[in-house]
């Protein structure tokens, strides 16, 4: 695909990155759901595969999607706010580089005209698409309203404190989110199987 190859060859912010530029994303014209996260972690960079770490395991468990189906671009587009690993900061990875969204996001959105639902993971994606505001309120709001968005907290183990303080997410709203995703009529949702064992 011409656009995807062009993006994967991007070196726009190479001087700002700790490692060589390696844009990590997947999509196709037939993608029905678009998953928008923060930026690839170091394991994703090393393996050239998005969400290929502990965060990805938890995310797939939340979505009840197998690892095999997760990487099927015909159904699921994975487009982070920053395409390359941004390096480490004092309390985790650095924020996603802003150059990606400025240069590429509108082009990708226009290209993916079959997308029915956008899953926003974490505050960076949520603020870009839905504006500022409390993440918890946006999670609740878009779990129950008929919108084209779903909002999730970041599944990183570093977010365990937030999850412990906000048990309503996994106990109540996660099922509502799964139901909303299932209404996109995608085949890969299967609550009876372990996501990492399929």
Per-residue pLDDT tens over the stretch 42-59: 999 999 999 999 999 999
Residue 197 has pLDDT above 80, yes or no: no
Q: What percent of the chain has pLDDT over 90?
A: 87
CB atoms within 10 A of CB 113: 8
Rounded to an integer, what distance in angstroms lies between the CA atom of residue 94 and that of residue 87? Answer: 6
Residue 190 falls inside a structural domain: no
Residue matched to tokens 């365990």: 160
Q: Which residue do the tokens 């090393």 mark?
A: 46
pTM for the whole structure:
0.91
CATH of residue 61's domain is: 3.40.470.10
d(CA 135, CA 120): 10
Reading the block at residue 160, the tokens are: 């365990």
CA distances to 86, 94, 138 from 170, in Å: 29, 27, 15
Confirm whether 188 is domain-assigned.
no
In the chain, % of residues over pLDDT 70: 93
In a domain, 144, yes or no: yes
pLDDT tens per residue across span 171-185: 999 999 999 998 875
User: Which helix (H) or strand (E) covers residue 92, if one does?
Assistant: strand 92-93
Q: What pLDDT, on a 0 to 100 scale, did the predictor assign at position 41?
A: 95
């Amino acid at each position: 695909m011409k656009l995807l190859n062009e993006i994967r060859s991007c070196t726009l912010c190479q001087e700002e990155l700790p490692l060589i530029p390696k844009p990590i994303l997947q999509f196709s014209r037939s993608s029905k759901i678009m998953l928008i996260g923060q930026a690839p972690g170091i394991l994703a960079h090393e393996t050239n595969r998005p969400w290929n770490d502990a965060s990805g395991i938890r995310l797939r468990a939340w979505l009840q999607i197998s690892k095999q189906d997760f990487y099927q671009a015909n159904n699921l587009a994975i487009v982070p706010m920053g395409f390359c690993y941004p390096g480490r900061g004092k309390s985790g990875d650095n924020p996603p580089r802003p150059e990606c969204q400025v240069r590429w996001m509108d082009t990708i959105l226009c290209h993916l005209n079959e997308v029915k639902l956008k899953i926003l993971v974490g505050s960076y994606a949520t603020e870009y698409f839905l504006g500022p505001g409390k993440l918890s309120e946006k999670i609740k709001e878009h779990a129950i309203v008929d919108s084209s968005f779903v909002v999730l907290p970041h599944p990183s183990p570093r977010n365990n404190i937030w999850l412990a303080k906000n048990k309503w997410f996994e106990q109540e709203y996660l099922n509502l989110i799964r139901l909303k995703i299932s209404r996109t009529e995608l085949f890969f949702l299967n609550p009876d199987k372990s996501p990492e064992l399929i």
